[in-house]
Structure 1
Amino acid sequence: MKPRATRLPADRVRSRAVLRNSPIVSPLLSASDTDCLRRPSPADRMPKIRTTRTRKPPEGFEDIEGVLDDYAKKMRDAENESHEGKRKSESLWPIMRISHTRSRYIYELYYKREAISKELYDWLLKEGYADANLIAKWKKAGYEKLCCLRCIQTRDMNYQGSTCICRVPKAQLRAGTVVECVHCGCRGCSSDS
């Protein structure tokens, strides 16, 4: 005898649809562990393409537009570069480096040189020209030279609770030790380096 198909009540069907669209979160995971399950924010995306329908950039963008276009050109070249003969993670290093330098350029324009307005700075972050989370870390003590956010996430490391080798000050490393981060190719970004 065949098992009879039963129909679920509408509220249970709806709750299954909600579960299907939301990330599965274990009670054992902390909030920082579930960051990888979230949808990308505007800061995680590449800069938007400007058309006639998009809002005009704030005043002062024309002054830095040439430099940002150069970074975009370098990024395209790095993305189209051949990956043959490189490790899987090693092929992303030039892209990570360009993203870091572009974010550092915008950070220094606003915080160090005070050459751009708050409105332009916020617009650049919103449009994805710089990594807002990385800049937020640069403002904290001890993270002024941080290369990427993956290097401080403890869940990606071999030893529980540790950070990347590039975060270790050079004075604490053995002499002659070559340090190279697996994630981004950094050779040392601790504040004591």
Structure 2
Amino acid sequence: MSLTTKLRRIRKPPPEGWDLIEPTLEEFEAKMREAETDPHEGKRRTETLWPIFRIHHQRTRYIYDLFYKREAISRELYEFCLAAKIADAQLIAKWKKQGYENLCCLREAISFWHNL
């Protein structure tokens, strides 16, 4: 889903500061589209998902670092990104807990998915 589609789904204009993070988010979106359309012949089922999980992690970590580490974006913009599903709220909730700071995706936190 493109970034503009995600923004239309919210039905609110982006808050102040959006123009500062939009170019980086567009880059992540382009990388995600490329990873999704990459050929997957000869790869295991889980190997085809690795690039997608990596980009998802990078995009979510970018928003997390801007808000919690660098304090460069407002709470309103942070919550807008969570509501538009630009960043993964559940993954960020795990990162805030001790011992989960370097978690790459929620798939690793749930042992049920390890054998898939």
Match for residue 30 of structure 2 among 49, 73, 82: 73
Specify the structure having the higher radius of gyration (Cα).
1
Contact 1:47 1:128 in 2 (8 A): no
Say which structure is richer in helix: 2
Paired residue type of 1:86: K
Match for residue 147 of structure 1 among 96, 104, 113: 104
Match for residue 84 of structure 1 among 35, 41, 50: 41
**Is 1:113 matched up with 2:80?**
no
Contact 1:46 1:128 in 2 (8 A): no
Paired residue type of 2:38: E
Amino-acid identity (%): 54
Paired residues, number: 114
Runs of 4+ in 1 over 2 A off after TM superposition: 45-48, 154-158
| 1:152 CA displacement | 1.5
Listed as ranges, the gaps of 5+ residues in structure 1 are: 1-44, 159-182, 184-193
- In 2: Cα distance, 1:123 partner to 1:73 partner: 20
Paired residue type of 1:126: A
TM-score by length of 2: 0.90
Contact 1:46 1:129 in 2 (8 A): no
- In 1: Cα distance, 2:99 partner to 2:2 partner: 28
**Is 1:130 matched up with 2:105?**
no
The structure whose RCO (Cα within 8 Å, separation 6+) is larger is 2
**Is 1:97 matched up with 2:61?**
no
TM-score by length of 1: 0.55
CA deviation profile, 1:58-111 (whole Å, cap 9, x unmatched) = 000000000000000000000111111111111011000000000000000000
Contact 1:125 1:131 in 2 (8 A): yes
Contact 2:25 2:59 in 1 (8 A): yes
Listed as ranges, the gaps of 5+ residues in structure 2 are: none
